[in-house]
Amino acid sequence: MNMNKHLRHYLGRAAAGELVFPRCEECAAVFMPPRAACPACGTDALGWTPVGGAQGTIYSISRHSNEGSVALCEFEVLNTGTRFYGQLVGPGNQQAQIGQPVELTLAECTVSGMDAVDQGQLIPSIKLVEN
């Protein structure tokens, strides 16, 4: 993983218990992954916005049987076109289906062998929304 300063900032805030995504100061686009310029308008005037609890639906799922209970999924945040990919945590994650409602949360990393984070570090994660 290319650990640019924007990604380091994002993961550092998460490790400190803050769930934030980059947000453009010019056009208000919220996007992932963190990068130097807004993908919508190109400005480098970027800030951060809290996204804890942001909801969306599962777009894709991949399961890693060699990682025990780890499921990874991608979901579209708040129907904005912004897609977030990460570990799926909490009850029911092994039975998760595409289209199910989920939300962003912070959880300890359960995936081993990631370049950017240590196991047990708080990282942005996805959990199923209980109906």
Please give the size of the binding site for Zn ion, defined by CB under 5 A. 7
Of the residues 3, 27, 98, 114, which one makes contact with Zn ion according to CB under 5 A: 27
* Residue 25 binds Zn ion, judged by CB under 5 A: no
- CA distances 18 to 53, 56, 104, Å, are 12, 19, 12
CA distance 24 to 3: 20
* Residue 36 binds Zn ion, judged by CB under 5 A: no
Nearer to Zn ion, 36 or 41 (CB): 41
CA distance 105 to 42: 28
Residues near Zn ion, by CB under 5 A? 24, 26-27, 29, 38, 40-41
